[in-house]
Amino acid sequence: MHKSFSHGGRILSLAKQMDVSFESILDFSASINPLGVSPLVKKAVAAAMKLAGHYPEAGSPSLCQALAQYHSIPVETIAVANGSTELIHLIPRLFRRAAGRALIIAPAFSEYTNSLHLAGWEYSYLNLSHTDGFTLNTAALAEELAKGYDICFFCNPGNPTGHLYTPEEIETVYWLSKSSGCFFVLDEAFIDFKEDFSAKALIPASDSGMILRSMTKFFGFPGIRVGYAIASSEVTSRIKRFLPPWNVGVIQQAAAIAALSDLKHCRETIEFVEKERRSLTDAFAKMSGLTVFECSANYLLVRLDNGMTADRLQNELLKELILIRNCSNFEGLDNRFFRVAVKGKAENKKLLQAIAGALKNSSIPFS
């Protein structure tokens, strides 16, 4: 039985439910660039409005070219989509069969499971353990893959764990998948914070895998849906045959191209997030009743060790209009785990004070 497919970032619906303005809610449930969108993106979006009366470029060739230049990879290895989730739901269709079998290395983004469930595929999990920091046991993976799978899903850095796997570890997973006849799907939605760890030079070298990339998190515009795949030209050609011709609109394409051009904003984002993440990690580490996990992206996974549940903590924080991500619906995690985005210093301070207050006021004694 699968867990629910709920997500973070539900601030608009929550504001309506609570009858408050969405601006009044501090949303730590969605891991979005705390610096916001680049100023160049705002200008590009405004300028693109004059194109709203026309169809966008089918297949987003200008954006593909911009991505190829940004990553220094061949343009034919890129396929652009309306967010990486569009690609996730397309993947089972690439195999031209009624059903197949997939392995998900968990904890993981629930849309992998959702896409497989809707497509009628079977799926199993290889759960990584929080007790050893979500390290990957390649021997256990090889043993599991030997049971026979069509697809293997893996995320680097892990979501929601934040664990960063080395290029050598990713290469091992890739070759284990390939040697077992399994198509390897590597989700690099948060790799922008550690771009040197990307497998974009490895995966496109054969037709045995693909990389998923998102422009939601690092570039800070989840409301403007843009994602893309990096794979061999054969694989991207297959992907493009399944995508609608105008799946990415003129405003989306303009925003993405502008974001890629602002390298200064990219550098400032990395520096800002690293500094604030370290500060937030240190503050959590000093709190009694919590365990914080090392992360390489713009969020932190935290475990409650004092008997309080993530449900209860989430509800307590909502009273102060602070929203966190309850991670109990992630396969391999339970109701002790929650995730928070890394935001600015003042916002992070407010979060820490609210969590400290909730823990202090809990009637459950600390362990």
Confirm whether 195 is domain-assigned. yes
Q: What is the pLDDT of residue 8?
A: 57
Q: Tokens 């969605």 identify what position?
A: 30
Work out whether the CA dihedral 60, 61, 62, 63 comes out positive or negative: positive
Q: Is the pLDDT of residue 2 over 50?
A: no
Are residue 209 and residue 246 in the same domain, yes or no? yes
pLDDT higher than 80, residue 323 = yes
Judge if 60 and 24 occupy the same domain: no
pLDDT per residue as tens digits for the range 52-70: 999 999 999 999 999 999 9
Q: Are residues 169 and 25 in the same domain?
A: no
Last residue of a domain, one of 215, 237, 262: 262
Residue numbers of the domain that contains 251 = 55-262
Q: What is the pLDDT of residue 14?
A: 77
| For residue 4, pLDDT beyond 90 | no
Same domain, 218 and 181: yes
Q: Is 181 part of a structural domain of the chain?
A: yes
Q: Output the pLDDT for position 12.
A: 75
**Would residue 299 count as lying in a domain?**
yes
Instruction: Tell whether 144 and 254 lie within a shared domain.
Output: yes
85 lies in the same domain as 201: yes
pTM attached to this predicted model: 0.93
Q: Phi, psi (5° rounding) for residue 15?
A: -60, -40
The answer to whether residue 32 scores a pLDDT higher than 80 is yes
The sheet with strand 122-127 has its strands ordered as 78-81, 227-231, 209-214, 183-187, 151-155, 101-106, 122-127
Q: Looking at 262, 296, 328, which one is the last position of a domain?
A: 262
Which of residues 196, 229, 262 is at a domain's end? 262
pLDDT digits (tens, 9 = 90+) for 162-193: 999 999 999 999 999 999 999 999 999 999 99
Decide: helix, strand or coil at residue 314: helix
Residue 328 lies in a domain: yes
Q: Are residues 22 and 67 in the same domain?
A: no
Residues 76 and 150 in one domain: yes
Residues in the chain: 367
206/81 same-domain check = yes
Predicted confidence (pLDDT) at residue 212 exceeds the cutoff of 80: yes
pLDDT at 7 over 70: no
Question: What is the Cβ-side half-sphere exposure of residue 211, based on CA atoms within 13 angstroms?
Answer: 30
Q: Which residues of 176-194 are buried (b: 16+ CB within 10 A; e: fewer)?
A: bbbebebbbbbbbbbbbbe
Q: How many domains does the chain have?
A: 2
Q: Each residue of 326-346: pLDDT tens digit?
A: 999 999 999 999 999 999 999
Please check whether residues 254 and 325 belong to one and the same domain: no
CB 178 within 8 A of CB 145: no
pLDDT at residue 9, rounded to an integer: 56
247 and 140 in one domain?
A: yes
Mean pLDDT of 353-359: 95
Q: What is the pLDDT of residue 22?
A: 75
Task: Give residue 318's pLDDT.
Answer: 92
The pLDDT of residue 23 is above 90: no
Tell me: the pLDDT tens digits for 241-286? 999 999 999 999 999 999 999 999 999 999 999 999 999 999 999 9
Q: Whose CA is closest to 189, among 152, 148, 230?
A: 230
CATH code for position 318: 3.90.1150.10
Query: Which CATH number is 163's domain given?
Result: 3.40.640.10
What's residue 360's pLDDT? Answer: 87
Q: Is residue 50 part of a domain?
A: no
Let me know whether 76 and 210 are in one domain.
Answer: yes
Q: Is residue 36 part of a domain?
A: no
State the first-to-last Cα distance of the chain, in angstroms, to the nearest integer.
32
Q: What is the structure's pLDDT at 365?
A: 46
**Residue 367 within a domain:** no
Is 201 part of any domain?
yes
